[in-house]
Structures are given as C-alpha cells and as structure tokens.
Structure 1
Amino acid sequence: MDTTRNTVLEVWMAEHGYSANSLADAVNRALEQLTGRTGGLDGSSVRAWKAGRVTWPKSATRKALEDVTGLPAVALGFVPRGRPRSAPAPPHQEDPEMKRRTLIGGFAAATAAVVPLTASPRRIGMSDVDRLRKRFAEIIASDHRYGGQLGIEQRAASLADEALRLQNAGSATQRVRSSLYASAAAFRSSAMWAAIDGSRYDIAKAHMREAQALAEMSGDQAIKFRVWSHAGTMYRHMGRPADALAANDVARNLHITRRDPLFASLGLARQGAIHGVARERTDTRRAFEQAQDAMLRADPADHRPVWMLAFYDQAELDSLALSAYLALGDYPTAEFHAHRCLSTLRPHMIRSRAITTTRLAHAQMAQGDADAATTTAAKVPADVATQHARVTRMLREFGTALRATAPGSATLQTWAEHTTSWRTTA
C-alpha cells in the first residue's frame, strides 16, 4: 500500500465535488487573482498532489489552494519540505510504561471486541501514525463543515479504537506508542467535541474521561491542552462556570502555553467566555485583552497541530468574545465582535458562521431592532438551521424573543413563513 498518498486531499475533493481538472481550474483562477497571471496547473498537477508525488506545492500555488479550500495546506495532507513526517514525542515527566500499565485497563473492554487489523504481529511504525493523522485531518474538516453530527462523533470514536488496536498489533518503539496514544486521544477529543456541539453532554463526559487518560499516556502537551480546554467549553455550555474555569485552568497551566503564545491566547479567550457566563464583567474584559495581546505575540511560522491551525485565529477570538458579551448583556459590544468575526471568518467554517450569525441576530434583537435581527437570522442556511442542535436551539430562542418583542407584526409573519420553509426543505 502506498502510505504517501494524500488521502486527506482526496476526501476533501470528493466531499466538495471537485475532479482533478476542476480543482486545477479553480486554483488557476485563484492564482490569477493573487499574481495577475493565470496559473498553469492541469489535472495531472492535482493527481500528483493526490498520489503524494508532490508533497508541498510552490508558495503561490499553495496560497491559491488554501484560498479555494479555506484550509491550511497542512490540514489538506501536505507536508512542508525539510520537515520530518512527524515530530518526536515530548519527554515524559513520569515513566510512560507505568502509566500504560495503570491506565490501559480502562480501555481493555472497548478494544477486546474489535477485530485485529492484522492476522499476525508486525512492526508498527510512524507510517501507521501518519495514516491516522491524515484521518484526523479529515475529521477536523468534517467538523468545521457540519459540526455536532452523530456520524462525526461515531467516526472519531471508531478511529480512536483503531489507534488503540494498533498498540497490540505488533512491536513498536516508545516514540511510536506515545504517538499512537496521542492519536487516540485526538480522535476521542474530537468525538467529545462533536457530542458537546450536539448538546449530548452525558456522552461527551464519557468521551472526555477516555481522552484525558489517553492524553496522559501520550505525554503530548498539545493534545492535553485540547482535551482540558474542550472540557472547560463543555461545562460552560452546561451552565457550570466554576467547573469550566477549573478545567480550563488545567489547560492554561500546561507548559505549552508558556512556550507558545497562541495556545496561551486560546486558553485566555475561552477563560473570557467562561467569565461572561459567570457575569464577571471586569474579568471578561481583562481576559480578552490578554488573549488579544498573546495572539499578537504568536509567531505564525511556529509548528502547530492541524486542529489548532484549522480553527484558531482572530475570527475565533472574536467569536468567543461575542459569546461572552452576549451573556453579559453588553449587546453593542457583542454586535461589534460579531461583525468583526464574520468579516474574517474563513470559508470552510460553515458551522461557525451559522453560530455567529445567529448570535448577531440575538444581539440586534436585544437592542430593539427586530427587522435587522430577522434579516440576519434568515441568512442561516436551512440545512444548518435544522440539523445542528446548537443552532436550532438558538434560532428557536430567537423566534421566542421575536414573538415577545414584535407580536402580530409583519416581521414576525415573515419569520414564521421562513421557518416553515425550513421544515419543508429539511
């Protein structure tokens, strides 16, 4: 099997209906916008990317491809020149074998019923880890497009089991074993996030417990941060700010936040969102000021995991600020952050755009502008409005607020007709 094939790009193309020729044409048009000259790509160029013969396109081509897809090149399965396929696992503070023996029992039942990948023991290597990392990039891309779907949760959980299954499929170095645990934790944390996003909190907590144990066994600071930061977000959505702050503090106290200001920024921004739920106005403002300062100090050239590159930027910081100021009842500030978020949100963030648009409608409604709010809310695509639990709930709450604010109005009638069309097209 050709382990260098770029399956992540193949999946993205299939999901978005691109052939090799049509993607080449789209990138050529983007190149013309960037450089003023039409690109010279054709179907064979894209097939070379898919086959892994070209692992890192030229800079202008890469930028054009990122503009077309809305994803960074590394999230599309490309590997920068001169960079090894994977980074060594960070040093462990505790004996990893002791952790493995202590914690692996919790997963024995989950993995025992799964059919082994191989009929006989073999050598497990970093190529197996790389294959899992490509599948992880696919999960990330699906999450940003669809969010919260049970299918994404189930696929991520299944891939976590596959990573654990590899632990018993043959011999491996400690580096490989640590990387497999990190992959399993990454998939399990994605399953956790999908459950959170779909408001399936009891299931999310079960995923969280497994993800936390796997992250500990991996020794990977980045995935530990992701798991605990997700836990903080889960408790925030559940209306438990004290638990949310405690979980988020675990993430913020990891060494990675001192090494990389972007991780520090994300931790602070999520802390600000939690303070908003707790109605702590001064702490909210201070957290977002510090998050913004840390983001400005972050070096964009630093190597970071795919999940971080794919979502955390200025738009996400503004999205979290929007959520916080909406919870505080500071609706003009919330509206400011909503507009700024929407102006910089990357095209692939379909779920995030719907959430931000719905929150903007709430901020406008709270300021008494029912007409503008209804026009804003109507921009949410029907498929997201009806299939994403969080968006559906927020739009239902919007309808309730509109009925209270403008009963019997033409605006309310327009909204009722609009939501009826959702039901008939869903």
Structure 2
Amino acid sequence: METARNEALKAWMREHQYSANSLARAVNSGLEALTGKPGTYDGRHVREWRSGRVRWPNAATRHVLADLSGKSAVDLGFVPRSRTSPAAAPQEDPMHRRTLVTGAISVAVAAAAPGAASTRKIGMSDVGRLQKKFAAVIASDHKHGGQRDIEQQAADLADAALNLLNSGSATQRVRDSLYATAASFRSSAMWAAIDGRRFKDAVAHMREAQALAELSGDQAIKFRIWSHAGTLYRHMGRPADARAANDVARNLHITRRDPMFASLGLARQMAIQGVSHELRSLPRTFGEAQEAMHRADPNAFRPVWLLAFWDEAELHSLALSAHLAAGDWSTAEYHAHRCLASLRPHMQRSRAIATSRLAQAQLSQGEIDTATHTAMKVKAEAATQHPRVSRMLQEFGAALRATAPGSVNARTWTEHTAAWRAPA
C-alpha cells in the first residue's frame, strides 16, 4: 500500500516558510528547552514526516511541534499508530493555545490533561543554557549578517524561551530573565531582517520584541529594541520616526546609569541626522558620543550584544554612514579609514559595509582608480550573500559607469562582479 503524504504538514511549512532543515533546527531547540538535551533531527527526518514514512513522531517531538505551530499532531497531519488514516483518528485535545500579550505577542501555553500539569521547576541554569545560544546567534550575525536562517534561528529560540517559561513553575526573577531572553532573541531576528532589508518582517519582530521587553522590565533589552527601531525607520526612509524611536532608547534611565548606552544612542542619532542632511550637527554629536564612550567604566557589566560590537570602530562606522548620507565625502572617507583600522577580526559584516561605503566616498570625490580598487576588496561572500552589501555595490557599479562610462575601471569592475556570479 502506498504511503500517504502528509499534506497538512507540507502546507503549514510552506505557509510559515520553513525548509526541512530550518524546521529540524527549530524542533531541536524546542527539545532542548523541554528536556534539557538537544534534539538530533536533520532535514532528512522532516522529509520523512512530510512524505508519510514517519506517521507518528514520539511524544516529546509532537509536543514541540504543537508549541511551534499552535496545532495538535493530528491537525498537522500525523496519524496515531492505532489508526489507519487521518480521517479515522479522533481529534486530540489541543496541547497548545495562543494568547495575545499587550496586543502584540503570541505566547505558547501548554494545556495538559487534568491532573497531569507539569511541576518542573525552571531555574537560572535553564536561562543560562538559552543565553549561551544567544551568544552564538550574535557571533553568527557579525560573521554573516542579514541571512534568513539567522533570523529564523533567533525567532525559534525566542519561542523556545517562552515555551520553557510555560513548561513549569519559576520565581519572578527567572520569569523576568526568560522574558528578557526571549526579547533578546526576537530583537536579533529583527536585526537580521533589517540587515537583510526585509523591513515588513522586521516590523513584525519589533512589535513582539517590544512587548516581551515590557514584560521583562529589562532596561538594556528595551534600549536595544528601540535603538534598532530607530535604525529600521532610518533604512525605511522615515527619519522622523527614526528619531522618535531612538529618543525612546536615549531617554531610558540606563543611559544615565551607564554612559556606554548613552554613547550608542548618540551615535545612532548622528546617523539619523545624516539622512536628514543636518551636516552642521554631526561633529558635535560625534564628539558627545565619543566623550560618553570614554567616560564609561570599562569594567561595568554589560550585555553580550553590546560588548560584541560597540567600540570606537563602530562609532566611526556610524559617523561614516552619517557623513556619506549628508554628502560630506571627505569626512566620510576619514571615518571609514578610522573604522577599518580598528575593527575587531570577527566583525566581518561590518568590514564589508565600511569598505563598500569607503568606495562610495572615494568615487564621489572623483578618485575613480582608488574607489574601484577599494570596492574590489569586498569579499565575494559578502558581496553576493549580504543584501545590504550587495545593494551598496550595485549602486557603486551604477555610479562608476555613470562617472566613467567605457573606462578601464568600469570594464574591470564589470569583469570582477561577473566572476562572483560564475559557477564554481
């Protein structure tokens, strides 16, 4: 007898844009949150579910799939072993329901059978295991940036934190920490979507992250989310909204307690001033941001996301962005060189962006040979796989051809970019 394909699972995966591999990763994360041990699924296992070869996964896996989807195993097209077809299977009691929190966020809540409610005690060690994964997400973002799989992984881990929260009892401290952790993951999903220029997705992540941050009461993650919101609106061409969002971040009391946060808020204000062509304000704002950074206690405890990127190099990177947007090419070039000279090795995404901007600043000053040479330093991986870098280099190529049509530099650049697209 031919095995019936699981069309319900296939349709759900298509609707929520899961590949076999990304669903396997999400299930593995959920299993680790549920059991304390990472799952071992890969894309092959998911394809077996989808093809109908595996008709009824084990109980823990069914639980995780229910948490991910909000549907029972039967609704996802799985068939209990004692039954012969989905039509013959009785409807299960829902294992999962969705509840809106502050009108923005869906929180997974397990609904067990009467008398069987979980009594598991959730502790800070559980939070710590998730936070280690957050550090890995941050590292992956700085290396690759803007990728859909980073966005999906971060979103899945946000859901895993919420599922863990609802899988047992916890103290208020643990609950607040889990909400903050979920908000951190969701804000990383937001940033990956911003960096990949998927602005509609970024807005959806932002709203969930903001609600989670409010539930956590964590000032640092609130700052990150609102500061990211300012960047999102700036990239969307909405400088007034960008300024308003960044002002929310800058007005949080954490900026008065720790000047390092104040420094980042000022630097992102400078980037907004750049797109608003407030050229005369830029040197003053840069100076204030730099002074706040130097005033900050180097030994103060700070979240991993801030420690991983915020330093003098990134301050110069935002100054580069501001002056480039404002049309001050020579000052933009100065900040580009300062940024590239001090970037930490792991900041590969930032290096590609700064190099692309440096090439734009040089070309705008008529330095055609130098600009072409600079642009060719961007690695092929970033040039082809990072949406923001790809767009910058496309704009550089268009400007180069307009500035020096038919020139040796224009032909060299065309040949160089053709090599990126050539099959290996």
User: TM-score of the superposition, structure 1-length normalised?
Assistant: 0.74
Name which of 356, 359, 384 aligns with 2:357. 359
Name which of 407, 410, 413 aligns with 2:408. 410
Contact 1:382 1:425 in 2 (8 A): no
Corresponding letter in the other structure for 2:241: D
Contact 2:104 2:207 in 1 (8 A): no
Tell me whether 1:145 sits opposite 2:161 in the alignment: no
Secondary structure, aligned partner of 1:169: coil
Greater than 3 Å deviation, 4+ residue runs: 104-108, 112-115, 118-121
Name which of 132, 135, 158 aligns with 2:133. 135
Distance 1:156 1:335 in 2: 34
Task: Kindly indicate which of the two structures has a greater share of residues assigned to helix.
Answer: 1
Distance 2:111 2:317 in 1: 40
Structure 1 counterpart of 2:16: none
Structure 1 counterpart of 2:70: none
Distance 2:420 2:117 in 1: 50
Distance 1:105 1:214 in 2: 11
> Deviation digits for residues 78-119 of structure 1, max 9, x if unmatched?
xxxxxxxxxxxxxxxxxxxxxxx98367444x636999xx99
Structure 1 counterpart of 2:53: none
Structure 2 counterpart of 1:234: 232
Distance 1:265 1:114 in 2: 46
Structure 2 counterpart of 1:197: 195
Deviation of 1:286 after TM superposition, in Å, equals: 1.9
Contact 2:110 2:166 in 1 (8 A): no
Q: Specify every segment of 5 or more residues in structure 2 that has no aligned partner in the other structure, as ranges.
A: 1-31, 38-98
Tell me whether 1:123 sits opposite 2:125 in the alignment: no
Distance change in 2, residues 1:238/1:325 (3 Å): same
Name which of 267, 270, 290 aligns with 2:268. 270
Deviation of 1:288 after TM superposition, in Å, equals: 1.0
Distance 1:114 1:199 in 2: 38
Q: Counterparts of 1:15-26 in structure 2 under 5 Å? A: none
Deviation of 1:282 after TM superposition, in Å, equals: 2.1
Deviation of 1:285 after TM superposition, in Å, equals: 2.3
Corresponding letter in the other structure for 1:418: H
Secondary structure, aligned partner of 1:202: helix
Name which of 105, 108, 111 aligns with 1:111. 108
Q: Counterparts of 1:348-387 in structure 2 under 5 Å? A: 348-387=346-385
Q: Counterparts of 1:36-75 in structure 2 under 5 Å? A: none
Distance change in 2, residues 1:344/1:126 (3 Å): same
> Deviation digits for residues 370-390 of structure 1, max 9, x if unmatched?
110000000000011000000
Q: Counterparts of 1:202-217 in structure 2 under 5 Å? A: 202-217=200-215
Distance 1:294 1:267 in 2: 10
Structure 2 counterpart of 1:16: none
Q: Which is greater in Rg?
A: 2
Distance change in 2, residues 1:106/1:247 (3 Å): closer
Contact 2:316 2:335 in 1 (8 A): yes
Q: Counterparts of 1:248-287 in structure 2 under 5 Å? A: 248-287=246-285
Structure 1 counterpart of 2:85: none
Name which of 219, 222, 236 aligns with 2:220. 222
Q: Specify every segment of 5 or more residues in structure 1 that has no aligned partner in the other structure, as ranges.
A: 8-100
Q: Counterparts of 1:78-89 in structure 2 under 5 Å? A: none
Corresponding letter in the other structure for 1:173: T
Structure 2 counterpart of 1:45: none
Distance 1:285 1:105 in 2: 41
> Deviation digits for residues 196-251 of structure 1, max 9, x if unmatched?
00000000000000000000110000000000000000001111110000000000
| Identity percentage of aligned residues | 69
Structure 2 counterpart of 1:92: none
User: TM-score of the superposition, structure 2-length normalised?
Assistant: 0.74
Corresponding letter in the other structure for 1:378: M
Distance 1:362 1:398 in 2: 6
CA RMSD of aligned residues (A): 2.3
Distance 2:383 2:290 in 1: 31
Contact 2:110 2:167 in 1 (8 A): no
> Deviation digits for residues 122-157 of structure 1, max 9, x if unmatched?
000000100011000000000000000000000000
